[in-house]
Structure 1
Amino acid sequence: MKHAVIVGAGIAGLATALRLERDGWRTVVVERAPARRSGGYLVNLLGPGYDAAERLGLLPALSARQLGLFTTVLVRADGRPKFTVPSAVAEAALGERTMTVFRGDLETALYEAVRERTRFRFGTTVTSVDQDADRVRVTLSDGSTQDADLLVGADGVHSATRTAAFGPGFRVDLPYVVAAFPLAGPVAGVPESSATTFIGPGRTAAIINLGPRRSSAFFTYRCPDPPAQLRRGPAAALAETFGDLGAGVPDALRQLDRDPSDAYFDAVSQVVMPRWSTGRIVLLGDAAWCVTLFAGHGAALALAGADQLGAALRRHDDDVPAALAGWEAGLRPEVTRRQALARRGMLQYAPPSRFHVWMGDVTMRAITLPGIRGLVRRGIERTSR
């Protein structure tokens, strides 16, 4: 029986554990945090990500948690509406094989599917890694060791596994900060079953009000020194950058100030590597390729990457290095494309000027026209394959 150590209990790590366990592997998931984390932002599963969720048997659980489609209102800084994008536009553009859920709900569905199949080591880190042709030995922070046929680093953009196996570097830090957090209750200024979005030079704020335990806030902005912003903490940094806005933002910031514990607050980075594996060690998800929120598809790529990794290992049986090389060759073109889309997406989420804001408004207004929706949908279908 083959054994795998998986570092990271996020989407990529849990999906890998689920796929490998179903193929007869025995897995151990090592997670730095003392317990599972909740919250997070909205993720869209479409294309290969939706297909992977289906193959992994996640759709029944996710269907109960899916958020569905909602109306989006683009607003000015004071909260006055510019124009409305009906939910029917998203429905027409995305098609039937798509699903929108909170990141935390996707992680919960994965965890519930795999919790009885794998062993979890919370509050634990990897301190050293050693490998030869036949196995990889992982030393953990509690002093214990794990011998395995495969080590999967799925520990995110700040991956310690990446540093241990490949050395420092590979992370490309960008001059942006992103924050997302759940909202406890109704949001003043945002009608239920809708979202308001403000897009201005260098910043975006979106407040989604879908009812209790289904509402969230998302902020991103350009800044010259993201580490300094992170040291301030989300409440102070967001209040300074977005405190002048209306349309639900003041209420969201008050909720964050009362309880910042579930907030995701980080600098924006990509990970660019010449290869994702060495011997019996492989990186997956943000640890390997981090496309950033500006591209979307991060969760979908994590699911698809885990599912395709399992398929490659199954095809190559005992030849782990050959399986990892074949898996990477198949997945890398999609990742490269998504990273390029992210670099262009920065103009959408943090427009450099008022002219860019105006051009974005023109584009979104055009999408609401019936004749354009089909073109948008075909474009999404092409980029999601």
Structure 2
Amino acid sequence: MKRAIIVGGGIAGLATALRLARDGWRPLVVERASARRSGGYLVNLLGPGYDAAERLGLVPGLIRHDVGLFTTVLVRADGRAKLTVPAAIAEATLGPRAMSVFRGDLESTLYEAVRDHADIRFGATVTTIEQDPDQVRVMLSDGTTEHADLLVGADGARSATRTAVFGPGHQVDLPYVVAAFPLAHPGVPASSGTTYIGPGRTAAILNLGPDRSAAFFTYRCADPAAELRRGPVAALQAAYGDLGGGVPAAIHQLGQDPAGAYFDTVSQVVMPRWHNGRIVLLGDAAWCVTLFAGHGAALALAGADQLGSALQQHDGDVPAALTEWETGLRPEATKRQAVARRGMLQYAPPSSFHVWLGDLAVRAITLPGVRGLVRRSIERANR
């Protein structure tokens, strides 16, 4: 039985373990964290991402976590409504094969699907990596040595596997930070979300019921690392302290449990090559597209699924499988990274004029004829 060592127990790592286990591999997942993480922001699964979730058998488990459709209200700085986008418009735009779930719920669904089919070790890291034409050898932080036919680095944008195998310098830091955290009391109407978009920043609050309500913030800044040192509460208070509506209450709730927040810089990973011999990077470790692309989780699922297909087709020839896999997937990752760079104008518009243009585009989507054009454009982009 072939063996794979997968570094990272997030979406990319668990999806890879699930696909390989179903193909007869024996996966070992090594995760630095002491337990599974929860929370995070909403991720959209549509197009290839939905297809991959379906092929991996995840859709039945994800359905109960799907937040469904909700009304979106664009608001002014004081919280007053500016423009309302009914849920029906989102349905008509995205189509039936689409799903929105919180990142933590996607990871939980993956974990439940793979836990009985893989060895998952929490609180462990890889300390050394060696390979020859026949196998990969790694030493773990617990002192054990493991051998495998394949090593998959799925340990995120700051991948230690990437640095160890390919060297430093592939992470491109962007001048933004992002925060996401759950809300016990969202302070906006049920089954709706409010979104403030102003020059250089976005603040969104979702009220989708118990354990499904959350806040999301992203803003442009000169020194993202300095923002992280301030911590999420102080940083968000400074960046959004002038706003009204539900924003002050959301930041106040964050202050009650700051440890529950996802708060990080925004980066992309740009590499000329994702694999080396029997070692391959997957997900954010290889191509981090950032949240501005809106397809990071979907691309991780699709990447894991396509990796399994390539390994099946090249039974026994791991390097050839990795070459074919990368050749097929790289154009999509490159496209999504470009989409993300354009998406920055949506989440952090450079000026009030750009905010106005964004509002105009949203108003246009509410028109039936334009709505159809947008849907067809989305369908073409996700083929």
Corresponding residue of 2:336: 338
Corresponding residue of 1:3: 3
AA aligned to 1:53 is: A
Corresponding residue of 2:158: 158
AA aligned to 2:333 is: V
Q: What is the correspondence of 1:41-80 to structure 2 with a 5 Å cutoff?
A: 41-80=41-80
TM-score by length of 1: 0.99
Deviations 1:72-102 (A, max 9, x none): 0000000011110111111011000000111
Counterpart among 346, 349, 359 of residue 348 in structure 1: 346
SS in 2 for 1:179: strand
SS in 1 for 2:360: helix
Quick check: 2:186–2:214 contact (8 Å CA) kept in 1?
A: no
The number of equivalent residue pairs is 383
Cα distance, 1:211 vs structure 2: 1.1
Deviations 1:276-331 (A, max 9, x none): 00000000000000000101100000000000000000000000000001001111
AA aligned to 1:347 is: L
Distance (whole Å) between structure 2 residues aligned to residue 250 and residue 312 of structure 1: 50
Corresponding residue of 2:20: 20
Deviations 1:108-146 (A, max 9, x none): 000000001111111111111000000000111111111
Q: What is the correspondence of 1:1-385 to structure 2 with a 5 Å cutoff?
A: 1-184=1-184, 186-188=185-187, 190-385=188-383
Distance (whole Å) between structure 2 residues aligned to residue 319 and residue 113 of structure 1: 27
Unmatched segments (≥5 aa) in structure 1 = none
SS in 1 for 2:292: coil
AA aligned to 1:187 is: P
Cα distance, 1:247 vs structure 2: 2.0
Deviations 1:155-206 (A, max 9, x none): 000000000110001100000001111112x322x10100000000000000
| Identity within the alignment, % | 76
Distance (whole Å) between structure 2 residues aligned to residue 222 and residue 297 of structure 1: 21
SS in 1 for 2:36: coil
SS in 2 for 1:73: strand
AA aligned to 2:88 is: A
AA aligned to 1:128 is: T
Large movers: runs of 4+ above 2 Å? none
TM-score by length of 2: 0.99
Distance (whole Å) between structure 2 residues aligned to residue 277 and residue 87 of structure 1: 42
Cα distance, 1:261 vs structure 2: 1.6
Alpha-carbon RMSD? 0.6
AA aligned to 1:83 is: L
